[in-house]
Chain A
Amino acid sequence: MSVPIRILKPLLFLLCLGPVGYLVYAVAFLPADAFGANPQSAVTDMMGDWTLRFVLITLAVTPLRKITGWNSAVRYRRMFGLFAFFYSFLHFLTYVWFTENFVVSDIVADVVKRPFITVGFLAFVLMIPLAITSTKKWISRIGGKRWQRLHQAIYITGILGVIHYIWRVKSDIERPLIYALLLALLLGFRLWHKLRRAPVLR
């Protein structure tokens, strides 16, 4: 790639901040009904959507490398993964704020009782160790192979995230199915590669 990383990376970083930047802009400048009659729900959904999108973007790095041979794409992967975590945190925050009024007992009860919240919460919690161990220091501390295996937990986060979305909707499963399809393609690519006895994937 001709664009050097020291230029492309900050650009991508700003682009990844776009959704939250738009939210700040909307609160500052747009009218009360900019997000419709239920803006809390709209913002919570928006953050959930961006979580899934960044999980998919992160998972797309390896197939992109294999297909295009652009190996330095891996240098952006951590950033995408951390943005997935960032948006999942905002998604969780808006949920406990808008829906639960920060009442801990209600949050616990819902997480335990509601399967769609349970799987969403698990998907979020699974990302915490990945975010913590995302630094170079942690890679060498854990060891490359084991670190890689640990970070394959993002597959489970992706699957749980899609299930969370499908279980949440009433009957309009079109959008969750699109995410499910993309996730299946990205995970399927890995499986296909593995079955071809390709070298270990990152």
Chain B
Amino acid sequence: MLIKKSNDIPSSEITDESVWNNRREFLKRLSAVTGAAAIGSVLPACVSAEPAPQAAAAKPASGKFDVDEPKTPEKDVTNFNNYYEFGQGKDEPGLNAGKFKTAPWTVRVDGVKKPATYALDDLLKLSTLEDRVYRMRCVEGWSMVIPWHGYALADIIKKLEPVPSAKFVEFRSIVAPDQMPGQRDPFIGLKWPYIEGLRLDEAMNPLAFFAVGVYGHKGPNQNGAPVRLVTPWKYGFKGVKAITTIRFVERAPRSTWMDQAPSEYGFYANVNPNVDHPRWSQATEKRLGGATSLFGALLANPQRKTLMFNGYSDQVASMYAGMDLKANY
């Protein structure tokens, strides 16, 4: 991927949802005709395959949420992480998170019909396991394409039945300084637990995802195991990891990064090439991984244009209609 020229994807080129649905329909008919496995077993398998060429009917198509761009290699996805609980360096989470204990794991859920502490498996059971290939755009100006393994958040929320007054949902990450060196490091200016939040309609958007792993399997810990949030139209820091608490609330939660630098990180944190970070531009980004040589990685990987809502405008733009996105960064 690094050899080819930067390929910005105008939203016009993103496959329309109806086309995807048609393809699913086609596959369904195909399986009915051929007596092949039921569609449910065909689709998850597709994700681990390379992105299928548009017309290759023989090859399984990817799911309707999948981005048709080269995936960032697993070793890059799992060794280049921002997860300050395990250290500031991009390589530190991969080096330090191995022994992090992710089982047994419970999640406290409040602001719902029946507030309770769930065993993680019981919570996830409310949805179905699937794989989705999403773009990931970090607020620092780099991006990846990551195959997430997890659950649609909306399914879980629906079954939890938030109280009618709930307008927002707050997620809290674990506090475990004994296991997380970053939480013991006085030079990391963040407060723990790591807190993030979404408007309820954002959390219910079909794209919002609870990931338990990458590349078709659970884990690894440095990518947020045992469960993390993925909102691909927002900057990566919204993806709170190792979630222990979910609260449905009336007022917008104050997130960790809002607390750290309110002028730089807002509640929405939607990917927006037209609204710069106060200290750097967000107009372009660096797509990481996939080079076959260091030479290529250095000299044949120009900046690419950042897409509005990270290329997910069709799915999310309507949620922000009429909003001043400069003020609501």
Contact = CB atoms under 8 A, between A and B. Distances in A.
A19 interface: no
A30 B142 CA distance: 23
Interface residues of A, number: 32
B276 to A, nearest CB: 8
Contact of B91 (A32, A36, A99, A114): A36
Contact of B293 (A32, A37, A174): A32
From A31, A38, A113, A173, residue with most partner B Cβ within 10 Å: A38
A33 B279 contact: no
Contacts of A116: 279-280
A168 B142 CA distance: 15
B140 A37 contact: no
A38 B294 contact: no
A170 interface: yes
A32 B291 CA distance: 6
A173 B301 contact: no
A38 B286 contact: yes
A114 B280 CA distance: 6
Contacts, number: 83
B101 to A, nearest CB: 26
Given A26-B294, A38-B288, A39-B298, A33 B189 contact: no
B279 A32 contact: no
A40 B286 contact: yes
Nearest to A177: B187
B297 A39 contact: yes
A168 to B, nearest CB: 7
Contacts of A167: 279
A173 B291 contact: no
Interface in B86-118: 88, 90-91
B279 A114 contact: yes
Nearest to A100: B303
